[in-house]
Structure 1
């Protein structure tokens, strides 16, 4: 943590204090639920996870939510102090962070009505209760109606927060963060949507705020010597919920209570306004943090720190946020999944080495929601550091990776980091594969950052990269380990007229553009949805930020909306009205394959644009100039306007074939390597293209290269 900062990050790199804590930089690792909290490993997994982020420069780390009681748990993978070895695990994590010279705060959590308690039992074996200010369920509760807390139970819950704070102190934490945002219990007490009480805890804005005030008072009294912060909702993004004035009044009520900091969150999990998806502009929610900061600065307690968060992925974003001195620090969460060393690399000026969070949510939020182990698409080691330690190899081997898409890059980077002699072979003239295509889709430009970071790290570690060179058995004959990650190619369709010049694969459409006119897209999965977005949405992020604010009626900050370079020539960026685009699908859901927290956003953008989505297609009959003929769900023959047809009908494995070994043709690269006795593994889409999944592909690549070259 002694890195000398580059001038671009003069403020981010400056020291500051958070109550009793003296921190070396202004980057906080925000809370993320990982499931490691309940892993029966004595805390080894959680310790390794946090250690790597502390060693990478995080000056202050906030844990995933720690439930303050059995009934506070959000699901079976939430820990409670004093239950099932939790204290031992947290002590191991705290010690690891302290070993690296960093600090760590325990987030005190109560899910309230957001608890997904089906099948859960408490420590006594009784079914877990779901409790809330009022007996109002939410959409994902699967019919579970929460029990309204009695006045006595409200008082007991306040003491639960205080007791958890004392447990955090006894475990060695440097402080606590009270979770009062994102629609959890404390936030539920504040909102007229979820608090229908007419007692001392509800019935007016002032009484709805009392629970939050009481929790903060109790926690501060319980741990007078620790840092105490609260995560507040800058805006609930729920029609009819707390107003800005009510949130500001809550801030005024809290400031005299001894808080050291306020971290500003945004939105509820059930809000229909997207908050963390890739489609959300960078730094979109800064206006809400700034508003709260102005309230604090104008108060009698201007020393209370205000921390901004949500949709910042680059420390240069953070520098822009902090430049005017209104805000004190930035909290980044998922970027620490993508790159544990984001702080140290950035403060050293090595921005090209930072593996940027792409906002896909697929291995983090989407998994967390269903209680699955959390990781990261672009960093498959995340939350698996014990299984895949970072230590250098003691037996360097020659490792060859065939294919420069996301899976191939994941394998090559991991092997190079551990000191193996890596050569990457890519048949095309550029790295990235499907990520290189995805980066052309509006809102997915960050996908190019993963490719950039991998390219930079391979160069930095002395790996050899061959572009435009399909690998042969002869090239790889002396290898100790070969990972074949050649990915996929678009699947053609067997439809009369599919060979006409106005029929394009999705790869042709994204790389070369689509002429003006109507477009029919065959296939409504994730790639079809992305292609429709490419055809109808502006590549200008600043324009999209303005449109986002207007669409969702929110105050979108423009501080960190930068110029995103577009590789596609402007002449090929032919945008058209949504009604000129028709997406067709035989069966299943539109956007199938897109993550559960992102799919509704992607489809909503297309619907807002007026894109036609036609499901239940029985048959694609023929393609003619200007029209695609289909048999619709009713069995009628219908012509769909189509000056161009883009085929997004799935993919097939792109396995290399036809190479030669010792002058003799082989059945293919893999067969030839096996015959030559070269250890080889096939991963990702090259192994199975039936359900192309980048999370699976990068994870398989990591596992394969570790197996072949420990």
Structure 2
């Protein structure tokens, strides 16, 4: 390992942190109803402590038990929470990390409206959930300030090493006071920058009064709100020295606001790494206490470089620690190729399933299930043949080999990665290739026998003496059988992304299907355009890319609109005209003719490819990933991860049960 400064100790106040890596506060949906730390959350954080994180910041710990955040919320609003919180903190300490709870009053972002109680804020406005909030009276503000101090005192009694005070993003109560976008008061808590900051100063003073001057405060702020009328970097350069004088011991620099620029707070594909570095570097120059930066620091090498060059004092990792809890240890040991990489994809860590709204990770199926997904040696070692080297097949091979099975991976093309290779083609999606590189290296290190450019047949699998065959052959694009389809050379989105369409597409183009693939194909055509391109996208549903997270969707839709893409929803393709340049569609119950197209491209979903399964006899067969049911990448990887953990442990393993969550 290189002796990078990132891995050296640093003090926040009088507390020494063993390295300069902080774990960002993230709401994951694992909380208990009663305000305590759940066993699931504890397991999650313990794995990150074991993985080398210097300081864990626990997200959104409310100072008022009656005011919950987005869902079930950890609380330090009453003394009764101290004992259980202390046992949790002791576990974190035993595994080598320090811990700061992020104490906050959810204020405008509280879901108290669900219980008939109007959320409170600095002023009257509509919150991020579209609900009205109520302006606090001065006496109410003073009572809440006391609650912050009481929560900090409880944190200290529970053995915490300090607290984080959330004042960023024009969000939650403290953020709503600090930001001119929210605070329209004319009393002592508003009117100008000093007035808007008074609430924060009062809270800092109360924390120090009740928890002691030796109890550190880490303050999270937006270095710049990046919205006209919001706080600017200059505002923060003015306030930071004053916050230090008031008692703040370190800063975590974020940026943007939760309302106007959500993709700046949790930057995904459409933002470059390190979105808040410029502001953090400037703030460090006026701060006498350590400055940490957060915001798409998705590669530990970037973190090493920032600290080495003295741009900041330390870095804050969020989603990369969801992807790999051992991130810090692996970086310290120089095992970069073994780090399971975060691609900042905006996937299931942000875009939750409605039926089970907890955080998952596209590349790490173990997230939130650290104990139950531990990899153990198989009871019976088997000869496992996997057909298909996409994400499902690669993850299955990785885990099965680690469990002691003999694994052969057959891939008919000349490269591994499957659909991820296509998903990485559109602009801004290059980071997805990191998943393929990681999985490829891991299966190679696990001595998986990889056979590229090889067609799997029942005879060949029999020759390999397979006990188990896993079909992960993916899917093929679906082309609807509409009238007139024979009048055109049907082109699919995959044809465009895989460069089967040899030349740049120009002229008037119809994209049939407004899902994520349709949007990505449209974006790719525009990006590669040589000459004028006019794109019309039609979608049967009432929304374009309905399942895409806002952090990606907002900038994507902005770009498509700026490029003049026509997007027609509630529009069904009925027929292709005889000359192949037009279509008949049904929109809102009425037929219309769209004409003049030089290309018609189909992005209408996919159908499974799993014919081989029917040819295999007298062998245990499982079908996973898109070969079972086309879906998102995390579904494929999760299916492979779960199945591989059961092979050799369960007799007559049923495929459907094996891949069930």
Taking the aligned partners of 2:73 and 2:157, their CA distance within structure 1 comes to: 19
SS at match of 2:325: coil
SS at match of 1:536: helix
The equivalent residue for 1:286 is 277
- The alpha-carbon deviation at position 590 of structure 1 amounts to 1.0
Instruction: Give yes or no for contact 1:625–1:643 (8 Å, CA) kept in 2.
Output: no
Change (3 A) 1:76 1:613: closer
Change (3 A) 1:463 1:597: same
Instruction: Give yes or no for contact 2:163–2:217 (8 Å, CA) kept in 1.
Output: yes
The equivalent residue for 2:495 is 508
Q: How does 1:692-707 map to 2 (within 5 A)?
A: 692-707=631-646
The equivalent residue for 2:42 is 47
Check if 1:339 corresponds to 2:324: yes
Change (3 A) 1:256 1:42: closer
- The alpha-carbon deviation at position 653 of structure 1 amounts to 0.8
Q: Deviations over 1:65-84 (max 9, x none)?
A: 21111244213321112679
Determine which of 502, 523, 526 is the counterpart of 2:516: 526
Instruction: Give yes or no for contact 1:529–1:591 (8 Å, CA) kept in 2.
Output: yes
Check if 1:201 corresponds to 2:189: yes
- The alpha-carbon deviation at position 307 of structure 1 amounts to 0.6
SS at match of 1:119: helix
SS at match of 1:246: helix
The equivalent residue for 1:558 is none
Taking the aligned partners of 1:458 and 1:533, their CA distance within structure 2 comes to: 33
Q: Deviations over 1:212-265 (max 9, x none)?
A: 111112223314333320101112233322233333222132011232210011
Determine which of 374, 393, 398 is the counterpart of 1:408: 393
The equivalent residue for 1:550 is none
Taking the aligned partners of 2:230 and 2:277, their CA distance within structure 1 comes to: 20
- The alpha-carbon deviation at position 525 of structure 1 amounts to 0.8
Q: How does 1:81-100 map to 2 (within 5 A)?
A: 81=76, 87=82, 90-100=85-95
Taking the aligned partners of 1:596 and 1:86, their CA distance within structure 2 comes to: 35
Aligned length: 638
TM-score normalised by length of structure 2:
0.89
Change (3 A) 1:158 1:480: farther
Change (3 A) 1:633 1:45: closer
- The alpha-carbon deviation at position 371 of structure 1 amounts to 8.2
Q: Deviations over 1:187-235 (max 9, x none)?
A: 1001223222222212232111100111112223314333320101112
Change (3 A) 1:103 1:500: farther
Change (3 A) 1:422 1:100: farther
What is the Cα-based RMSD across aligned positions, in Å?
2.8
The equivalent residue for 1:569 is none
Q: Deviations over 1:682-709 (max 9, x none)?
A: 23322223xx222333223323233334
The equivalent residue for 1:588 is 542
SS at match of 1:642: coil
- The alpha-carbon deviation at position 161 of structure 1 amounts to 1.4
SS at match of 1:367: coil
Deviating more after overlay: 259-268 vs 488-497: 488-497
Taking the aligned partners of 1:404 and 1:205, their CA distance within structure 2 comes to: 57
Q: Which structure 2 segments of 5+ residues have no match?
A: 650-661
Determine which of 238, 247, 253 is the counterpart of 2:242: 253
Change (3 A) 1:107 1:516: same
- The alpha-carbon deviation at position 373 of structure 1 amounts to 1.3
Change (3 A) 1:615 1:17: same
SS at match of 1:377: coil
- The alpha-carbon deviation at position 593 of structure 1 amounts to 3.2
Instruction: Give yes or no for contact 1:653–1:685 (8 Å, CA) kept in 2.
Output: yes
The equivalent residue for 1:38 is 32
SS at match of 2:74: coil
Taking the aligned partners of 1:215 and 1:535, their CA distance within structure 2 comes to: 53
Change (3 A) 1:470 1:227: farther
SS at match of 1:489: strand
Q: How does 1:60-71 map to 2 (within 5 A)?
A: 60-71=55-66
Change (3 A) 1:700 1:20: same
Instruction: Give yes or no for contact 1:187–1:233 (8 Å, CA) kept in 2.
Output: no
Check if 1:266 corresponds to 2:252: no
Check if 1:652 corresponds to 2:573: no
SS at match of 2:582: strand
Taking the aligned partners of 1:438 and 1:137, their CA distance within structure 2 comes to: 37
Q: Deviations over 1:122-147 (max 9, x none)?
A: xxxxx555211122222523xx3223
- The alpha-carbon deviation at position 483 of structure 1 amounts to 3.6
Taking the aligned partners of 2:349 and 2:42, their CA distance within structure 1 comes to: 19
Check if 1:76 corresponds to 2:71: yes
The equivalent residue for 1:167 is 154
Change (3 A) 1:576 1:465: farther
Taking the aligned partners of 1:160 and 1:114, their CA distance within structure 2 comes to: 17
Instruction: Give yes or no for contact 2:31–2:37 (8 Å, CA) kept in 1.
Output: no
The equivalent residue for 1:243 is 232
SS at match of 1:54: helix
The equivalent residue for 2:11 is 17
Change (3 A) 1:86 1:644: farther
SS at match of 2:315: strand
Q: Higher relative contact order at CA 8 Å, sep ≥6: structure 1 or structure 2? A: 1
Change (3 A) 1:369 1:498: closer
Instruction: Give yes or no for contact 2:62–2:74 (8 Å, CA) kept in 1.
Output: yes
Determine which of 416, 428, 431 is the counterpart of 2:413: 428
The equivalent residue for 2:446 is 461
Deviating more after overlay: 502-511 vs 523-532: 502-511
Instruction: Give yes or no for contact 2:162–2:216 (8 Å, CA) kept in 1.
Output: yes
The equivalent residue for 2:652 is none
The equivalent residue for 1:130 is 119
SS at match of 2:435: helix
The equivalent residue for 1:676 is 618
Change (3 A) 1:391 1:214: farther
Check if 1:373 corresponds to 2:373: no
Instruction: Give yes or no for contact 1:483–1:701 (8 Å, CA) kept in 2.
Output: no
Change (3 A) 1:701 1:24: same
Taking the aligned partners of 2:39 and 2:381, their CA distance within structure 1 comes to: 27
The equivalent residue for 1:104 is 99
- The alpha-carbon deviation at position 417 of structure 1 amounts to 3.8
Instruction: Give yes or no for contact 1:361–1:597 (8 Å, CA) kept in 2.
Output: yes
Q: How does 1:241-640 map to 2 (within 5 A)?
A: 241-272=230-261, 274-275=263-264, 276-296=267-287, 302=288, 304-367=289-352, 372-393=357-378, 396-474=381-459, 476=461, 478-495=465-482, 498=485, 503-512=490-499, 513=501, 514-518=503-507, 519-537=509-527, 573-574=528-529, 577=532, 579-622=533-576, 627-631=581-585, 633=587, 635=590, 637-640=592-595
Check if 1:189 corresponds to 2:143: no
Taking the aligned partners of 2:423 and 2:128, their CA distance within structure 1 comes to: 32
Taking the aligned partners of 1:196 and 1:215, their CA distance within structure 2 comes to: 20
Determine which of 2, 5, 11 is the counterpart of 1:6: 2
Change (3 A) 1:581 1:116: same
Q: Deviations over 1:374-408 (max 9, x none)?
A: 12111111111122124555654444433222222
